[in-house]
Chain A
Amino acid sequence: MTAAITQRCLLLSQSLLLRSRSMISKQTPLRTLRGQRHTACGFSRAFSSSTGALRSEDKVTVHFINRDGEKITTEGKIGDSLLDVVVDKNLDIDGFGACEGTLACSTCHLIFDENIFKQLDPITDEEMDMLDLAYGLTETSRLGCQICLSKSMNGMTVSVPEGVADVRQAADMGLTPS
């Protein structure tokens, strides 16, 4: 009984989050308090962490393919963002999440499988603005800090793209005389 209510509350808070996110996207970006991580899943995550001990149905397995090809398998809480997972599990992905989930960089850029990509929440202008500057952009790219884990993502694989260079550099980058 409690589980069903919890589930419905989670869904409700997520849909509220979606609606409020589209409103928020028209204003200036949310500010981070010092040391606090701020991702798109903030509301539902805070809620889920207050419901007590987590059971296995609250977790999903996620596989990360790192830049060197190494596969890292880990678990994340439903409602957490992929940035939360990388940070909480201390995954060894160089330079991931530099701006701590505030849509001010593109270092949490991840590549998804087509079938998962299609089910993701629609991308906001703010996310696309930063994603557009990511290196190695693909048709199924998103920013990890904006993607919240759901049940249907259990077992999914995401890839960390090659470089995290941001295209806000002029064409003369790397001009070293030979």
Chain B
Amino acid sequence: MSTCILRAPVSKGFSLQFATTFAKTTSCYGKLGSTAAPQPQVCIVGGGPAGFYTAQHLLKSHKGVQVDVFEKLPVPFGLVRFGVAPDHPEVKNVINTFTQTARQDRCGFYGNVTVGSDVTVEELKQAYHAVILSYGAEGSRSLGIPGEDLSGVHSAKDFVGWYNGVPGNKDLKPDLSAEMAVILGQGNVALDVARILLSPLELLKKTDITAGSLEAIAGSRVRRVLIVGRRGPLQVACTIKELREMINLPGTQPALDPRDFQGLREAVQDIPRPRKRLTELLMKAALEKAAGKEAEREWSLRFLRSPTHILPSPDRSRAAGIRLAVTRLEGSGEHARAVLTGEVEEVECGLIVSSIGYQSLPIDPTVPFDPRQAIIPNRMGRVQQAPGLYCSGWVKRGPTGVIATTMNDSFDTARSVLDDMESGQLDTSTPRAGSCAMHALLKQRGVTPVSFAGWEKIDAVETARGREVGKPREKLVDVRDMLKVASL
């Protein structure tokens, strides 16, 4: 999968000149009188948790700062809306905090604006004193094995995007016709995918899962899910809450191999409590016989397997199986490494979901990007060799961690910006035009930003439609629908 993004080139020379001229000749600076306290203009690129937490901290700590959040989609909240599983509504409570932030006078939201094509980072730097990149990870790591591009193979990012209503994933049409589905990776996202594939419909239909995916899942013939990892039970990346959820999932049973856990009881005695409890729960699930009748649906964790080929159907039109190399561990604990043994095995399946990590992409040729780590090189959120440019969230430190991790990280970046304002490293003495210039530029380019009030109209429609069908919301999945509602 290519990491190159194609964006329409923007005529930079004209636009910079336009923005500067426009700003000087209009009332953009009107409110910023010379006797007024400094009103630094800060722009944040990306309206997900990182963007909002960074905005929150800036607004709270500096009583004059104006923060504008730019977001590619008409709707805010990023992975809180599009990544968190539909059956985890409590995790989405942070949206209430973000809403409070967005409703503040000194915070502006500009949805439906793609930075990198509708407006360049250079243009943002002209209009704002500081630009903070918080646009997350819109790509995914590729397996790098033959057959990866066959129909029936999806990244977890796309599969999750499909059931969560990411407009770009609405036509995914995953093949749910075979009994066996294989998920590669054993983190919490892998468990989310397994759980959504196997959850009873009665539970799913009360969530904010999209109508389209719910319908597809209703007709799904998937009954067994194999969750594959390269290393062993002691290295599994998921955490105990999510594992417990799988074990307790109604209508399903775990099919773990007790042999995977031989000798582990002694090995876990002295390890830290989190890993110990997780392993003990796994062992219990593997060794206890399920009471009562056998469940219709089954999931299992297969350890020490690394995918080498995705095998096509006889007519080569789609994936029909996967070849897994058997590994063994060298070393132990968190740093154990998987080493090939030479043995292989094959599993027949209809759906393969690769859950091995999201990946950030470069946004704009003028922004430094480290392709090896797929992050923006930075120190404490200050982009290297780019004064006035900062970053927070996954694009800063890599695509792992939960919302609380990103919160901390965003506060750190905000502190760097505030420190730089105070020390003069960031010169806020001359006023900048901020959103005033942006409005003009976007209008000139035929881009209509969606304000937070516009999002609240979309929110109201989604909630009302959801109420009709017993769901918290019925998400709009088409950008055109979102824009239509926002402009009402």
Contact surface of A with B, Cβ cutoff 8 Å: 26, 28-29, 31-32, 34-35, 38, 94-95, 98-100, 102-107, 125-126, 128-130, 132-133, 137, 163-178
Contacts and interface: CB of A to CB of B under 8 A. Distances in A.
B404 interface: yes
A94 B411 contact: yes
A79 to B, nearest CB: 22
A99 B400 contact: no
Interface string B387-408: 0000000001110111111011
Which 5 pairs from chain A and chain B are nearest by CB?
A102-B90, A169-B401, A132-B274, A100-B93, A129-B241
B241 A98 contact: no
Contacts of B397: 173-176
A99 B244 contact: no
B97 A176 contact: no
B24 interface: no
Contact of A163 (B90, B237, B408): B408
A98 B404 contact: yes
Contacts of A125: 244
A105 B402 contact: yes
Interface in B191-231: none
Contacts of A169: 400-402, 405
A133 B377 CA distance: 28
A106 to B, nearest CB: 7
A38 B274 CA distance: 25
B398 A133 contact: no
A interface secondary structure, majority: loop
Of A28, A130, A176, the most chain B CB neighbours within 10 A belong to: A176
B370 interface: yes
A98 B277 contact: no
A168 B402 contact: yes
B415 to A, nearest CB: 10
B56 to A, nearest CB: 9
A99 B188 contact: no
A99 B373 contact: no
Contacts of A178: 379
B373 A133 contact: no
Contacts of B400: 168-170, 172-173
A151 B91 CA distance: 32
Contact of A99 (B90, B239, B375, B401): B90
Of B188, B241, B397, B472, the most chain A CB neighbours within 10 A belong to: B241
A95 B398 CA distance: 21
Of B89, B370, B378, B405, the most chain A CB neighbours within 10 A belong to: B405
